[in-house]
Each structure stands twice: as C-alpha cells, then as structure tokens.
Amino acid sequence: MLEKKFTNLLNQAGIKVNGKNPWDMQIYSDKVYLSLIFGNLALGEAYMNKSWDSKQLDEFFYRLLSSGIVAKRKYVSNILTFIKAALINAQKITRAYQVGERHYNIGNDLFQAMLDGYMQYSCGYWKDTDNLEQAQLQKLDLICKKINLQKGERVLDIGCGWGGFAKYAAEKYGAEVVGLTISKEQAKLAREFCKGEKVKISLEDYRELNEKFDKIISVGMFEHVGPKNYKTYMQMINRCLKDNGIFLLHTIVGLDDRINTDPWMERYIFPNGVIPSINQIMKAADGILTSIDTHEFGEYYDKTLMAWWKNFNSAWSELKKNSKYDERFYRMWKYYLLSCAGSFRAKKIKLYQIVFTKRTNSITNYTLIR
C-alpha cells in the first residue's frame, strides 16, 4: 500500500522509482516508504543509511518541491516539532550556544575546505561572475556599500562566523569591528584570521550586549533567533545602534510564517533554527526600526550551495582521514547541501538583504546599491 502510494506521488513530480534519469530515486529498502508518514526526517535518515539514492540529489529535490506534493501533506514529525516550538522558547539564552556546539564547532578543517578565503558561510553575490571567491568578495563589498561604511566607524557584526566580514571591513574600509559568535571554534579561528586589524571577536549572545555602534550587520544569523525572540532582537538593534546608524539584515526567508523548522534539519544540521518570513521580520521591527531597502537574490544561494558541495566533495579524500568524518557524515552533509540547493532552485525559500534605520533617523538620500 505505502509503496504504491509513494511511487504515484513521485510520478507526479516527474521522478521515477528505480528509473534511468539522474534525478530518479533508486530504492534499496522498504524503510524509505515511512517518509509518507514521518516526512523529511524519515527520508533524510533513510538516505544517510543508504536505503535510497539519486545521482542528482539537488535536481531530485527541485522536482519534488516544485511539484507541490510535499506542501499538501501533513507529517507526524512536523506536527511534533510544531508542538515543541509552541510550548518552549527553543532559542532562549540558556540554549543559544547549542547550535555552536553541534554545528559550527564540527571542525574548522571542514569549513575551510568548503568555503572561500574569507570563510563566508552565507549566500554569495554572483552578479557577473561564476567564481565563488569573487561572489563572496562582491557580497562583502555590497554590504559595506549598503551601510555606507566610512573609515573609523564602529561596526557590530552579529553572528560574525570566522571573522570574514570583520577582516574585510577593517582592511578595505578602515572600520573598527566587534564580532559576536556563539561558537568557540569560530571565535578561535576568527581571532587568528583578524590579527593585526581593529577587530574584537567576542563569544557572546546578542542579548547580552549594550554598547553603541555606527553600523550593525547580521549575515546568516537571524535564522537562529527564533520567533519568540524576534522582537527582543529588534529592540537590541535599537538599543545598540546610534541615532543616525544603519542596520543590514542578511537572512534566508520562507514563504510563510513559521514557528518550527524541518525536523531533519533540526536534528542533524541546525538545532533550534527557524527560517523567518518577511512578514515576521517586519512585524518584529514595527514601531522600532524602519526598512529603507529590501533586496532579494535567492537564486544566488543555489549557486553558492552547489559551489560548497563541489568543494566539499573534492576535499572528501582528505577530510575522511579525520575519524569524526565517516561515510554517514558524508551522506548527511551531501543531503544537507543538495536538498537546500533544490529548495532555493524551486523558490521555496529565498534570500533577502534588508536595510533598516532607527525610526528617529532622518536619512532622506539613501542610495540603493545592487
């Protein structure tokens, strides 16, 4: 019964079970059919356990998600994560460091192999380039231009990662940067990377900060804030931003308001993460900050993820010499990168840069940068 229903659903997405197309699904165990009940949690675990495969996993997910068949179904694991999110504040300050411990502390060797020279773990800006390094440099410069960064200005980078933006802003624009991270491994490498520059890297949650800055940026971090804390986050920006300052938020955005995340992503990749909607972001900022620019370029995240996958796959022969990176980890990481690429390709998630000022700011001549 489950097998027939599963096969029929995939057919609606143009995917054949044991077919000959590179995006088709090769099934090796009946456990795969449990995904009809438990959704992506069961599907992802089955993939990690070699119960199924697809030669072109990114295209498999693009076709699956584009078809709309996933959105129409209710899954047990999704319902359970929704109930959990409704009952508790999964991103409260006492839990804030969990994603650092479980994801960003995996190993700097992994991220150095996968990312560009400035260690940008967020969407690149691929305008007029097919090169990851150039795309990330363009993203960094785009941010600096959008906040009108001037020499000597003090900048806060919330979720500074391995210090890439901090180093770039200090080197190229003469800024003084304070970077916040909840990852010990990120902080360690960021301090080394930014040595000699006017950069301070702090292992600190954003809610603990009470200092003034000319400019504030947050790149790829808001997905860890959580709906119960969106208003608190915006209040912190208002508290720490000077009256004539500018704040840039770079974040993945979902199509609908959500309070929970995909169960497989929650368990294996980003614990306590939630992708916000534009509505949730603007509602949280309402009465506190004013948006003066919104810029969507989610199509570039597909290219970024595929470049990361290429780098990771090329480096695997070296990475696997480290005992913590086994075959199951390889399949988990592949599933993560390529399923996300398929999601962006299907336009089920997007990428926004939103520029805000304080409500009291009287900026009237802001120039849109693209």
Dist. CA 252–CA 123, nearest whole Å: 9
Max Cα distance, the chain (Å): 67
Asked if 54 and 60 touch (Cβ cutoff 8 Å), the reply is: yes
Q: Is 58 helix (H, G, I), strand (E, B) or coil?
A: helix
Asked if 10 and 27 touch (Cβ cutoff 8 Å), the reply is: no
Asked if 43 and 57 touch (Cβ cutoff 8 Å), the reply is: no
Of 198, 209, 213, 291, give the one whose Cα is nearest residue 248: 291
Dist. CA 165–CA 304, nearest whole Å: 17
Torsion angles phi and psi, residue 163, rounded to 5 = 85, 15
Asked if 128 and 185 touch (Cβ cutoff 8 Å), the reply is: no
Q: What is the DSSP string of 332-367?
A: HHHHHHHHHHHHHHTTSEEEEEEEEEETT-----PP
Dist. CA 167–CA 163, nearest whole Å: 6
Give yes or no: 340 in active site: yes
Structure tokens at 109: 């060797």
333 dihedral zone (left: phi>0; alpha: psi -120 to 50; beta): alpha
Burial class (CB in 10 A: 0-12, 13-18, 19+), 18: exposed
Name the catalytic one among 123, 144, 240, 340.
Answer: 340
Which residue(s) pair with 269 in the sheet? Answer: none
The residues carrying an active-site annotation are 340
